Amino acid sequence: MGASILGRAKDKGIFNYSVYQLRDFSQDKYRSVDDVAYGGGGGMVLKVDCLVSALEHIQSQIGSEKSRVIYFSPAGRTLNQNTLDNYLTASSEAHLILVCGHYEGADQRFIDSWVDDEISLGDFVLTGGELPALAFADSLCRHLDGTLKEKESHQNESFSLSLKGKRLLEYPHYTRPAEFRGHKVPEVLLSGDHQKISEWRLKEALNRTQTRRPDLLD
């Protein structure tokens, strides 16, 4: 988050973030933040008292401003562009607090009573919620005005293109040279005819979506 495009956006004040260490809010001298699960089973569970202590500290720093708590786990709803679009609106009105699951996850009492949204990257399991949280933050921040030099950079990419309200995958891209080892760039892209280029791109986006992600067109 502090490097490259997002790093420059942060330096310009387009967005800001803070990282908190859960162990700093441990309730014992060992700085433990997890314990064995009631009922048995393998793995450890993040403790509700530590999580709530951390959350209340963060909210005290925010003050009276609104905040939304997002917890990342495989059991959450799958992240997609619609979800991100909704948060792009919400992020202008509220702070987003991203909670990363670990081990067997968080005590369900924390999720039930203090979490506003539970999000997953997909139908697979990672060692922790840090990567999903980073993916969420990266995708969200790159859509903020001023992060990317050209607004079209994200307006015409996958899941931002649409046809009759259906999101499409992005069309193929080509650059110089115009021919490489017998592989040529489609002639229409060299024509300079912007209308034909737009039509070609929409057709290719639709074909790609029908082939790879037909579920988007349902």
Question: How does pLDDT run across 17-71, given as a tens digit for each residue?
Answer: 999 999 999 999 999 999 999 999 989 999 999 999 999 999 999 998 899 999 9
Regarding predicted confidence, which is higher, 215 or 164?
A: 215
Residue in this structure with the two tokens 């069309």, named with its chain if needed: 171
Owner of token pair 């992005």: 170
Q: Output the pLDDT for position 152.
A: 47
Q: 205, 173, 168: which is closest to 189 by C-alpha?
A: 173
Identify the bridge partners of residue 35 per DSSP, sorted by sequence position: 45
| pTM as predicted | 0.86
Q: Is the pLDDT of residue 4 over 80?
A: yes
- pLDDT of 89 reads 83
Look up residue 114 and give its two tokens. Answer: 């203090």
User: Distance between CA atoms of 65 and 58, rounded to whole angstroms?
Assistant: 11
CATH number of 156-217: 1.10.1270.20
**Domain spans of the chain?**
4-141, 156-217
CA 1 – CA 130 distance, rounded (Å): 12
User: What local confidence, expressed as pLDDT, does residue 151 receive?
Assistant: 59
Q: What is the dihedral of CA 176, 177, 178, 180, to 10 degrees?
A: -140
Give whole-number Cα distances, 90 to 59, 66, 168, in Å: 17, 10, 24
Tell me the DSSP string of 151-163.
THHHHTSTTT-EE
Choosing among 3.40.1280.10, 3.40.190.10, 3.40.50.720, 1.10.3720.10, the CATH entry for 4-141 is: 3.40.1280.10
| Angstrom distance (rounded) from CA 22 to CA 57 | 11
pLDDT band (50, 70, 90) for residue 124 = very high
Count other C-beta atoms under 10 Å from residue 44's C-beta.
15
Higher-pLDDT residue of 112 and 145 is: 112
